[in-house]
A and B are shown apart, each in its own frame.
Chain A
Amino acid sequence: MLDSQHPLQPRLDEIIGGLRGLEGPLLPILHAVQAEWGHVPQEALAVIASALNISRAEVHGVMSFYHDFREEPAGTHLLRICRAEACQAMGGAALAEAAKARLGVDWHGTTADGGVTLEPVFCLGLCACAPAAQIDGRVVGRVDADRLEALLKECCA
C-alpha cells in the first residue's frame, strides 16, 4: 500500500473511485491510469489490487498481457508504424526501416534524447491509404520517407 503522502495517491483514488463500480473495471482503470501518467506506475498496482480485491500479481498479469500498457513512460512523442499486410503491400516494411534508421532505434526503442518512441502497430484501419502511421494520436496515410521526415521535423526535429 502507498502511504497517504505518496504523490500518486489522491489522483489514483479518484480514478479508481470513478470506475470501480463498472462491471469488469480493471481495463478501464489501467487505461485511465496510463492516460494520467503516460504509463502504469509500479506503485499503482498494489493500490488497484486492493481496491478491486484481487492480488497484485493478478493486476500485473493483466497489465503485462496487453501491448498497450507500459511499465515505463514512452518518449515525448510516440510514433507508431503499421506493420500489417496491406501496409506491407505499399512499402510499409521499407518505411519502417527508414524510421528505425532515422531514429537510430529498433521497435519499442526510444531515441537517446527521449524524444521519440517507435512502436509497431498491426493495422490502423487505414489500409486503403497505406502505408499508415500514427504520431501522438494523429493518423497519417500514404506515408513515405519524405512524409515521415516532415512529420518528425514538425513535432520534434
Chain B
Amino acid sequence: MKIYVPRDAAARALGADAVAKAVVDQAARRGVAVTLVRNGSRGMVWLEPLVEVETDAGRVGFGPVEVADVAGILDAPESHPKALGLVEAIPFLARQTRLTFQRVGVVDPLSLDDYEAHHGLKGLRRALGMTGAEVVAEVKDSGLRGRGGAGFPTGIKWETVRTAPGDRKYIVCNADEGDSGTFADRMLMEGDPFTLIEGMTIAGISVGATKGFVYLRSEYPDAIEVMTEAVRVARARGVLGASVLGSGHAFDMEIRVGAGAYVCGEETSLLNSLEGKRGVVRAKPPLPALQGFMGRPTVVNNVISLATVPVILEKGAAHYRDFGLGRSRGTIPLQIAGNVKFGGLFEAAFGLSLGAIINDIAGGTATGRPVKAVQVGGPLGAYFPVAKFGTPFGYEEFDGQGGLIGHAGIVVFDDSVDMLGMARFAMEFCAIESCGKCTPCRIGAVRGVETIDRIARGDAAAIPLLTDLCETMKDGSLCALGGFTPFPVMSALTQFPDDFARAKEAAE
C-alpha cells in the first residue's frame, strides 16, 4: 500500500508530520505494509494535510486529515467522511493546465527515478543534442517572460549572456521569493527540485556557464533542505558535474542562503549579497547579463522562469506559446492567498479574469464577507477594487490598469480591511526594507508613514503631500522597492478614498 503525505511546508504547518507518523504507527499496528511517500503539495492548501492512497483506479485523496482520521482511512477508506475521490478529478486541480507544476505533488521530490518516470530530464537530453544558439532560440520562441516580476523575455536575456565575451559565466537562480502572497517558488523547490536543477543546467549549457547558484531565502528551511539534498543526488547520478549526463558539458551548482532582506530579491542587490557584501542595489548599466556575479556575464532568473524551461524543451516552444493571452504566453502559477475559501496554487494559461480567479476558483472570502480589495503582485503591487475584476491576468493588461502581476501572488481582503492602514503598511515596509542607497526610498518611505499618520489624524491637507511624495519616489528611486511602493499606496488612496476621508471624520 502506497500512501502519500506531503512534506511541503504548508502541509507541515497544518500538521502533516504528525499525520505521517500516525500513518506509519497505525499501519504497523495493523500489520499492513505501507510505503510512505512525502510528496510535494498539490497546491490545494485548504485540504492540507491531503493524504493520498494509491489504488488501481488512481490516487484517492482524503483531507484535511487529522491524526484521529488516520485509523479510519486505513480501515474503511471508501466510507471515510474526508474521502475526496480521485485527486486528479477534484475540480480545482482538474481545471488547471499544469506544465511547470506537472510533477509537483505527484512525485517523490528526491527520487530521480520517479522524476525520470514522469518526463524528467527529457528537456535536458534534447537540449544536449542542440547548439546553445538553438536552445536559446527555442526559449525565445516559447514567449517565456521572467516570472520574478519584471516580465523580461527570458530568451533575450540568455542570448545576451551567451554572446557576451567571457570565459566564466554564471547562472543565478533568484529564490528570494519575498512577496507576500507568493509561494510558487517554495512549492516547486520542495515538491520537484530536479526541475529547477534541470532548468538551470539547460541554461548553463546553452549560454556557456559552468556554475550556478540558487539564492534561497532563509525563511524557507524546508526548501533549503530539499534543494540541498537534490543537488547532492543530481551530482551523484551525473546530472550535475564535470560531464552532464555524459555530454562533456560541465555544470554544477550551489545552494546559498539569504539572510532576511527583502531587497535582496532585486537582482543586483542579490548579486552583491552572493558576493558577500551588503545587499545594496547596484546602478544599471552595467546589466547583470554582462557584468553580474564577480563582474562576469550572469543569467539571473526567477525559480519559475528556470523551472519552466524543461517543459518547453520537452514539448517544444509552440506547445508552450499556444497557451496564453496577448504578449503573456504560456501558463502562470497563480498563488491565491489571504482571505479566500480555497487558497493555494492554480497553474493556468494567462487570461483568466481577476474576478473569475477570486469568485469561481477561490470561492470568495474565507470569512464569507464581501471582497473589498485584492493586492496583486506582492507588497509593491496595486490594490484592485471589485470594480476592476474584469481585468484579464496578463502583464500588459494589469499594467494598463495601473497595476502589475509581479510574481502572481493574489491577496484577497474582505470588507473589514482599512485601506489607509494598508497604505501605511506599504510605506512602513519600504522604510524597514530599504537598502539605504537612494534617498527617495530611504527617506521618502519614512516621510510616507508620517504623512499617512497625518491623514489618519484628519489632516486632509496631507493628501496632496502624499501624492507628491509618491511621484518623487516613483521617479527618483534606484530600484522598484522605492519606485513601486507608490503602487499600493496610490491605489489605496485613489480606489478607496472613503477610508482616507473616514479617518478625517473620526478625528473631527
Contacts and interface: CB of A to CB of B under 8 A. Distances in A.
A66 B14 CA distance: 29
A85 B411 contact: yes
B501 interface: no
A85 B375 contact: yes
B338 A125 contact: no
A24 B273 CA distance: 8
Given A68-B218, A69-B259, A86-B411, A127 B276 contact: no
Contacts of B183: 125-128
A127 B220 contact: no
Given A127-B335, A129-B343, A139 B12 contact: yes
Nearest to A84: B180
A132 interface: yes
Which residue of A28, A85, A123 has the most chain B CB atoms within 10 A of its CB atom?
A85
B254 A22 contact: yes
A22 B338 CA distance: 40
A130 B259 contact: no
B270 to A, nearest CB: 11
Nearest to A133: B13
B200 interface: no
B182 interface: yes
A137 B221 contact: yes
Contacts of B178: 122-123
A142 B219 contact: no
Interface in B373-394: 375, 379
Contacts of B185: 125
A91 to B, nearest CB: 9
Interface in B410-444: 411-414, 417, 422, 425, 429, 433, 435
A27 B219 contact: no
B338 A127 contact: yes
Given A84-B180, A125-B182, A129-B14, A89 B411 contact: yes
B259 A30 contact: yes
A10 interface: no
Given A62-B277, A123-B178, A126-B183, A28 B256 contact: yes
Given A85-B411, A127-B180, A140 B335 contact: no
A141 B337 contact: no
Interface string A17-40: 000001111111011000000000
Interface string A112-132: 000000000111111111101
B338 A90 contact: yes
Interface string B177-199: 11111110110000000000000
A24 to B, nearest CB: 4
B339 A90 contact: yes
B198 to A, nearest CB: 22
Interface of A: 22-28, 30-31, 52, 61-62, 65-69, 84-90, 121-130, 132, 134, 137, 139-142
Contact of A129 (B45, B219, B274): B45
13 contacts: A62-B277, A62-B278, A65-B278, A65-B435, A68-B260, A85-B181, A89-B337, A89-B417, A125-B10, A127-B409, A128-B336, A141-B14, A142-B14
Contacts of B256: 24, 27-28
Interface of B: 9-10, 12-14, 45-46, 48, 177-183, 185-186, 211, 218-222, 254, 256-262, 273-280, 293-294, 335-340, 343-345, 366, 375, 379, 409, 411-414, 417, 422, 425, 429, 433, 435
Contacts of A90: 338-339, 366
A135 to B, nearest CB: 11
Contacts of A87: 180
B181 A127 contact: yes
A134 B180 CA distance: 16
Given A27-B257, A90-B366, A125 B278 contact: no
- CB-CB nearest 4 A-B residue pairs: A26-B276, A128-B343, A89-B338, A84-B180
Contacts of B411: 85-86, 89, 127
A87 B185 CA distance: 19
A131 B222 CA distance: 19
Given A22-B254, A86-B337, A129-B13, A121 B180 contact: no
B321 to A, nearest CB: 29
Nearest to B273: A27
Given A84-B180, A124-B219, A127-B409, 12 more contacts: A24-B275, A28-B257, A31-B218, A66-B260, A124-B9, A125-B182, A127-B183, A128-B183, A128-B345, A129-B48, A139-B9, A140-B13
Nearest to B179: A123
B259 A125 contact: no
Contacts of A84: 180-181, 379, 429
A122 B179 CA distance: 8
B279 A66 contact: yes
A54 to B, nearest CB: 9
Contacts of A121: 219, 260
A125 B264 CA distance: 16
Contacts of A26: 276-277
A26 B256 CA distance: 11
Contact of B257 (A31, A86, A128, A134): A31
Nearest to A59: B276
Contact of B259 (A66, A85, A129): A66
A73 to B, nearest CB: 17
Contacts of B429: 84, 122
B369 to A, nearest CB: 11
A129 B257 CA distance: 24
B63 to A, nearest CB: 13
A53 B429 CA distance: 35
Nearest to A26: B276
Contact of A85 (B13, B254, B422): B422
Nearest to B183: A125
A141 B366 CA distance: 15
A4 B46 CA distance: 56
Contacts of A140: 13
